[in-house]
Amino acid sequence: MRTSIATVSLSGSLTEKLTAASRAGFDGVEIFENDLLASPLTPEEIRARCADLGLTIDLYQPMRDVEALPPQEFARALRRARHKFELMRRLGAGTVLVCSSVSPHAVDDDALAAEQLGALADLAQESGIRVAYEALAWGRHVSTYDHAWRIVEAAGHPALGTCLDSFHILSRGSDPKGIEDIPGEKIFFLQLADAPLLAMDVLQWSRHYRCFPGQGGFDVAGLLRHVLRTGYDGPLSLEVFNDVFRQSEAGPTAVDAQRSLRVLQETVGLTAPPAPVVPSGFAFAELVTPDAEPVAALLAALGFARTARHRGKPVDLWQRGEARILVNTGPAERRDGTRLAAVGLESPDPEGAARRAEALLAPVLPRRRGPGDAPLEAVAAPDGTELFFCATRRPGLPDWRADFEDTASASDADDGWRVDHLSLTQPWHQFDEAALFHRSVLGLRPQESVDVADPYGLLRSRAVTNDDGSVRIVLTVGAAPTDDTAHAQHIALATDDVVAAARRFRAAGGRLLPIPANYYDDLAARYEFADGELETYRDLGILYDRDDHGTFRHCYTRTVGRVFLELLQRDGGYRGYGAANAPVRLAAQHAVRGFTGG
């Protein structure tokens, strides 16, 4: 189906919004009145600009407070409408959105509302325009889609239909099944938006917290299925009011919006892009650093061995058991220092994973390949992290290890070492985009968002995983664009014996993050431990947690650049990440300034 987006969903000038929508692959736009009023372009110039970009103008909006009014007020509304219809003629827009009235002058009289909307439609029809009447969730007398439809049906005018808006319907808890009773030809327009499930005033909820389908808690796909059963064949249009989107660059936001519609169409069976290829594990995590010495010292203290060197690039492979970390001393920004720049994901079908990613608008990354380099597929995540689709030791598929020349053997005493999860910090404005990306492109399942208290704000965190937990990625973001704690990244390494690992690390000269004694006093009050167990945790800085499935022990290294490492041990099927301990960890990192330097 055709796709459209309201200009209010994007930041910037009207010209910037139109350009972003076109480049992201949208077929049309809804012109929001405020964007037109603020534009230096004439309506004719806007029309020409849209045509040059391959965009149709699918809707002009909004027109407010025009129905169920006293005669004098309705006469003013018609005068205003005449001006708007002339403007729309110049603009080349054929449909206008009329919102249910919130005017204090409006009366609760459906017959009068139908009569006046019919008169408005008469005027619109003279200009070749259709009127799409929408129920605002906070409308004074009309606040539900079925009520709006009854008024449209009573008016019985060919130029009057209804506009359905998923936010207004789902935010009120209305049953969308009744949409199927509306003839498809009388649904003049469909606006789609998701939203997190919040307990707040619906107007504020609508104006600040809408998001793209798949990023919130509404069943937008279910609503769309009901709409499609009516025979509706108009565009799928996004109308999203969101404070973060208003501050974000229009181009990436438009791509995120288009991706959400592609996933939505796939969900309801309208399209069939390449199927998701769910990763089955971590092949490697790659650190880029201007100075390899601190990283090498950290890894060596953890018992990693430098086992291989890339044949043509300054990249070393460090390994312990199945945990592999690449250390890249190529170009890096000194101010960032060491950072987690790339992730290798084990994939049963790397080419299929890349085709899926490309179909959902993930940027495919060009690679500088030397003679004999493995033909790895790679895409960029929203935060810029490079994702490589790998097949390690998989017969018949290129192996990334072939690019490396062995220099030593991996440690025999691996104690079950592997990468348990990665924590990737997101730009403030891309948190919801990142969750949708990892779910739709990689096929990972998002878990509930968690808010974590930091001494200087609040961190938001959301994990995405595959079914068996062999791939876990934690997406985190700070409370504001200037929140420095949002720059922390970490690699979590699982071992069968975290106490032994911590002792060996410390004996080798490694520094563990010190944890306040008050934490252990509280731990003693909450849980019972074997003799000497709690003292061991206190000595090593090991934190402890339990859930319904098992126990979790973990500790942290000091930070190098923007990265720190976590050692952990899961027992009995523990499923979490120690979120209850995160405020203590964050405070400890602030205390040693570990989140900003080595």
Q: Which strand (E) or helix (H) includes residue 89?
A: helix 71-91
Q: How many residues does the chain have?
A: 598
Distance between CA atoms of residues 472 and 491, nearest Å: 11
The residues pairing with 287 across neighbouring beta strands, listed in sequence order, are 327, 340
Alpha helices in 451-581 (DSSP H): 498-507, 517-526, 533-540
Residue with tokens 């403030």: 428
**Binding site feature residues for a divalent metal cation:** 134, 165, 191, 239
**Binding site feature residues:** 134, 165, 191, 239, 421, 490, 566
Q: Is-contact 552 542, C-beta < 8 A?
A: no
Per-residue CA distances from 127 to 123, 235, 506 (Å): 7, 22, 80
Distance between CA atoms of residues 356 and 273, nearest Å: 7
Residue with tokens 């009235």: 101
Distance between CA atoms of residues 50 and 93, nearest Å: 11
Per-residue CA distances from 134 to 43, 131, 187 (Å): 25, 10, 10
- 62: cis peptide before it, omega within 30°? yes
What letter does residue 215 receive in the DSSP assignment?
S
- The answer for 459, left when phi > 0, alpha when psi is -120 to 50, beta otherwise, is beta
Q: Is-contact 49 16, C-beta < 8 A?
A: no
- Kindly report the number of other CB atoms within 10 A of residue 370's CB atom: 11
Amino acid at 20: A
**Binding site feature residues for Mg(2+):** 421, 490, 566
Residue with tokens 């890096």: 332
Alpha helices in 328-440 (DSSP H): 350-359, 431-440
